[in-house]
Chains A and B, each alone.
Chain A
Amino acid sequence: MTDDRRGGTRRVAERLMLEQALEKDALRAEVQQLRAEVDRMRREADAGSAAMSTADAGLPVGPGLPVDAGLPVGPKPMPRRFHQARWDEPIIFELSVPGARGVLPPETEAAITDAVGDPAAALPPGIRREAPPALPELSQLHVLRHYDHLSQETLGVDFNIDVGQGTCTMKYSPKVNDQLARSHRLADLHPLQDPSTIGGILEIMWRLERMLAEISGMDRVSLQTGAGSAAIWANVSMIRAYHAARGDGATRDEIVTTIFSHPSNAACAKTAGYRVITLYPDADGYPDLDALRAAVSDRTAALLITNPEDTGIFNPRIEEFVRVVQEAGGLASYDQANANGILGITRARDAGFDLCHFNLHKTFSTPHACGGPAAGACGVSEALVPFLPRPTVESDGTRFWLDDDRPESIGKVRPWYGVAPNLVRAYAWIMSLGADGLREVAETAVLNNNYLMAKVLEIRGASAPYAPGKRRIEQVRYSWDELARETGVHSEEIGYRAADFGTHYWTSHHPYVVPEPMTLEPTESYSRADLDEFAAILRTIAEEAYADPDRVHGAPYASTVHKIDHEALDDPERWAITWRAYRRKYGIAGDGATAGALAAAGDDRGSGEEG
C-alpha cells in the first residue's frame, strides 16, 4: 500500500467520522427538543388527573409518561416496551428435504466434459470423499428465512445497549472498518500466495505490531494468536519454553493467578499442565500481596494477572506484584484482553511485565466471532522474543517478509499468519483515532463506567463491594445481595427479566465470591442516554422485586426462550453443541438410543469429542 493510499484511507475515515459527528449533533438537538416536549406534556399530565393505564399483561411498562399525549406516535415509556420474536425454529437439519437445492448450476456441456474429463479425478485420492457429506438440503429461500429467524431470536451487539456483559466488552465496531476488511484487495488474497506478492497485508501487520508494542511498551508482538484463551495459551507456552531453555522447565511447575483475574488464565495454565495457585483478595478487595509472597517459590513459573481485575478495581501495588514474582525467578504476564480503561494511560512493560496479551475484539473494536475468527495479540519483552509463535513479520523499512526460521519458537499457534481481516479492522480503528484518540477512548470508558455506577448505586438493593468510595476503572462487579435478602429475587432472575427489556445481563464467573453478582461494562461506545436507559431498566426490575417479586420470578415474558436448563449446559453427558452430538445424546432421528441407553451399553461417544 502506498503512502498516498493510506492517506486516502485516513481521509475516508476522517470524513465518515465528521459525518457521524454532524449527525450526532443534529440528533442531539432533536432529542433535546423531544425531551422538552415530553417534559412539558408530563407537567400538563401531572397537573391534570391523567393516570397511566398501559396495563398490558405481558409487557413491561415504564413509569411516568401519559399515554394519550395527543401525538400521532405517542412518546415511549422509559424503559421502552419490547417483545422479541419467537419462531420455535427447527434446527436446519430438521428442515432438510431430500433433493431440495438452493442453486441449480447448468449441466456441463458435452464438449467441456470431453475436454476436461472428470475433474474430481484430478484430486489426490486421500482428499476425495467416498460419500457426499450429510448436509441439509434446502432451497435458497428456506436457508435465508431460517437464518433470518435465528437472527431475530438473538440480542446482537448492534441491537441493544450491550453494557450488561461485563468482562466481555461489547463495544461498537465502526462499519467503515468492515468495509476495509471486506475489500476485494484483502478478500482476494490467499495465504498460500508467495509472500513476495502480499507486501501490503504484511506491512499492515508489521505496522499494527509496532502500534501494539508502543501501546503495551513491549518489544515484540505476535498477531498470529487467537484471542482470549488462545492468546493466554500462547503466552503460557512461551513461559514454558523460556524456563525450559534455562533448564528450569521441570521444577517450575506452578502458575499463580488471582480469583478476580479472568478465569481463562487459570484454565490455560491448568490445560498446559501447571498447578494453579489462586490468591484471594485482601479485606479491601485488592489482590493480596502477602498471599502472593506466601505463594511464590522456586516452583513458580509465572504470575498471570488481570489489572484492573474483574471487580474494576485497579491494583495500586502492581509493580510490587511483578517484582515479587520476578525475584522468585518467575515471569509476570499481564492479561490485557480488556485494556479499555488504560489505553494511553498505563503500559504493561512500564509496570515490569514480561508478557501481555490483548483481545483485538475487546479493546480494538473487531468482532467477537464467538470463539471463531477473533484475533489476539501477544506482547513480550526482549528475553522472550526467541519463543514467539512463528512466522514473525519482519521489515527493513521498505520490504516486508515472513520469518519462519525461528528454532526456539513455540511454533504455529494458528493456521497461516492469524486472522488478517480482523488485523485490518484493528489497524483501521487505531489509525482513525490516533494516540490522543486512544487515550480519549480510555477516559470515556472510565467516565461512562463511573457515571453508570453512580446511577446503579442509587437503586435500592444494589451495592459495589470492596474499595468503598474508590472509583472503578472500566467495569464494576456489583452485588444484589441486599435485594436478594429483602425480596428473595436473585441476580440470575434479574438477568431473565432484563431480557424482557431487550438487553443482556451477566452475573459473574463461578464461584460467586461477590454474592448475587452483576458485572457491567459500559465501554466508550454508549451515550449518556444509553446508560440512563440501561440504569432505568435495572431500576424498574429492582422496583418490581420489592413490589411484586413474583413478576421477576416468572420472567422472562417477552423473550425468545424461557428459562435455560443450566444443568444440561454444565454436564458433558447432556450438552450438545452439534447436530451429531444432539442426535447421539438424545437419541433423535433414527438413532433409536437415548443417552441413558448409550451409557448403559458402555458407549462413551456421548461425551468428549464433539461432531
Chain B
Amino acid sequence: MTPTARAPVLGLVVNPIAGIGGAVGLKGSDGAETVARALALGAVPHANERAADALARLAARWPAGRPRPQVLTGAGVMGASAAIRAGLEPEIVGRRATDRTGDPASTTADDTRRIVAALAAAGVDLILFAGGDGTARDVAAALAGTRVPVLGIPAGVKIHSAVFATSPATAGDLAAAFLALAPGRRHVVDREIVDIDEAAYRRGEMAPRLFGELPVPTGDGRVQARKEPTPASDAAATAAIAADLADSLEAGVRYVLGPGSTVRAIADRLGVAKTLVGVDVVELDADRVCRVVAADARGSDVDTLVADGGPVAIVVTPIGGQGFLFGRGNQQIGASVIARALSTAGHDGIVVVATPAKLAALGGRPLLVDTGDPAVDALLDGHVRIVTGHRERTIYPVRPAWESLR
C-alpha cells in the first residue's frame, strides 16, 4: 500500500468581505448595503489574511519529500492573492462577475457559489473556504448533491456551524493531515451548517436555523475510520437509536421532532417523512401509526400545536460542533414549549438522541442550552439521559450556554 505519488488537489475560496461587519458592530456582513456601511465605518477585511495564515500553516506542515498540493482557486481576492501570499502557485478556475475594480465589496454570494461549483467540477480533494456561516451556506448550496469534503477557515462574524476549524492554524493542520493521506484513507463526517437571520439578529432576535450538512475531515482522532456502513459504524448506531424510539415513543403524545439526520432516522423508522433542517410535529395513534401534524413548523406554529394541553414531548439531537441542545439550529422549539414538555411528562418530555461517536467528539465538553429564558435553561442545567442505542442510555452534563461561557 504505497501512498499515491499524485499531488493532492486543494480547492480554495475566500469570501473577501467576510467578517467586516463584526469589527464595526454590525453583527454580520450579509448584503451589499451592510458591506458598504462597514467599509465606510473604516472596517478592514481580514478574510484573505486568515486564509493565507491557514495555507502557510498547511505548507509548513506538509510532509517533506511529498509533492505539494496543487491549489485551484478564484482570481484575486477570491483566493489567488491569499495563496500567493502563502507562497503557493495557484491555478485560477474562475473570477468575480464584476471583477473590474479590485474592490472586495463588489463580490457577491453568487461569485462564491460559482467558484465552488467550478472547484467541484475540477475534482478537488478538499475545499477550504474562508468566511462565516453565510459563506458556508453558499458553499453548501453549490455542492448540493456532491460529496466533496469541505473545511471552513473561520473568518466571519457568525461561526455557529460545525464545519469550521477552531482557527486558521488548525484549519491548515487538519487540511495538511487530510490531504497527506491516500484517498482511500481519508475520512469525513457530516457536520451541520447553522446560520441566523441577520436582519432579525440586528433587531435583537436570535433565530439560528439548520441549513444542511457538509462532509468535513475528522481529525479529532475519535472517529473510527470506516468507509462503509457496518454494524460498528455511526450509521448503525443511528439505526439502533431509531429502533429504540420507534418502540418507546408513546401513543397520544404530541412529539416535536427537532432538526438533524439522527432525528430524521427516527421519523423514517416510524414511516413518516421528516424535513432535515426543519422542526416537525408528529403523533402516534393507538395502533402506533404515526402521522405528521405539522411539517417544517415555525416557532409560532409549534407553540399553537402544543397549546391544547395534551401531553407534549420533544425529540432533539445536539447541533453543531459546540454541542448545542437548544438555542442553535432548532430555535423553532421555544422556551415555552420546552417548559411544557418538562412539566407535562417530567424529564421524559425531553428525549435527547445522539450516537456514541457524536458524544465522544465533544471531547468531554457539556451540552449547551440557550433557550432564551434563563429559568428554562436552569431547569435543563444538570444531567440529561441521552438515547445512544437500542436500550442504551448515556448520562451527560448539560449547562446553560451563558454559564459555560462565563
Contacts and interface: CB of A to CB of B under 8 A. Distances in A.
Nearest to A292: B395
A416 B114 CA distance: 74
B368 to A, nearest CB: 15
Contact of A294 (B227, B232, B395): B395
Contacts of B65: 548, 550
B291 interface: no
A488 B8 CA distance: 15
Contact of B356 (A279, A511, A515, A570): A511
A562 interface: yes
Secondary structure of the A side of the interface?
mixed
B222 A515 contact: yes
Contacts of B385: 277, 294-295
B231 A570 contact: yes
Given A277-B395, A280-B395, A562-B1, A549 B225 contact: no
B144 interface: no
Contact of B226 (A292, A554, A570): A570
Interface residues of A, number: 48
A270 interface: yes
A512 B356 CA distance: 9
Interface in A243-282: 254, 259, 266, 270, 274-281
Nearest to B360: A511
Contacts of A294: 382-383, 385, 395
A510 interface: yes
A253 to B, nearest CB: 9
A292 B395 CA distance: 8
Given A291-B395, A491-B221, A571 B3 contact: no
Contact of A280 (B61, B230, B364, B392): B364
Interface residues of B, number: 45
Contacts of B3: 550, 553-554
Contacts of B288: none
Nearest to A278: B394
Interface stretch (A211-219, A352-360, A371-379, A478-486): A478-486
B176 A488 contact: yes
A560 B22 CA distance: 59
Interface string B164-208: 000000000110110011100000000000000000000000000
A563 B1 CA distance: 9
A178 interface: no
A266 B220 CA distance: 25
A554 B1 CA distance: 6
B331 interface: no
A492 B221 CA distance: 10
A510 B232 contact: yes
A278 B1 contact: no
A553 B184 CA distance: 13
Contact of B391 (A275, A485, A486, A567): A275
B70 to A, nearest CB: 18
B225 A490 contact: yes
B221 A549 contact: no
B177 A484 contact: yes
Contacts of A480: 221
Nearest to A517: B221
B224 A510 contact: yes
B402 interface: no
Contacts of B174: 485
A286 to B, nearest CB: 12
B69 to A, nearest CB: 13
B147 interface: no
Contacts of A116: none
Contacts of A266: 392
A488 B63 contact: yes
Given A279-B395, A490-B225, A512 B360 contact: yes
A16 B1 CA distance: 49
B224 A488 contact: no
B66 interface: yes
Contacts of A310: none
B397 interface: yes
Nearest to B61: A486
A270 B392 CA distance: 8
Interface in A456-495: 479-481, 484-488, 490-492
Contact of A512 (B1, B224, B226, B230): B224
Contacts of A1: none
A209 interface: no
A290 B383 contact: yes
Nearest to B63: A549
A566 interface: yes
Interface in A544-569: 548-550, 553-554, 562-563, 566-567
Contacts of A479: 221
Interface string A1-43: 0000000000000000000000000000000000000000000
Interface centre among A479, A566, A572 (most CB of B within 10 A): A566
B357 interface: yes
25 contacts: A254-B393, A259-B394, A278-B388, A278-B394, A278-B395, A280-B364, A280-B396, A290-B383, A291-B395, A291-B397, A295-B385, A486-B61, A487-B63, A488-B176, A492-B225, A510-B232, A510-B356, A510-B357, A511-B223, A515-B222, A548-B65, A549-B63, A570-B230, A570-B232, A571-B230
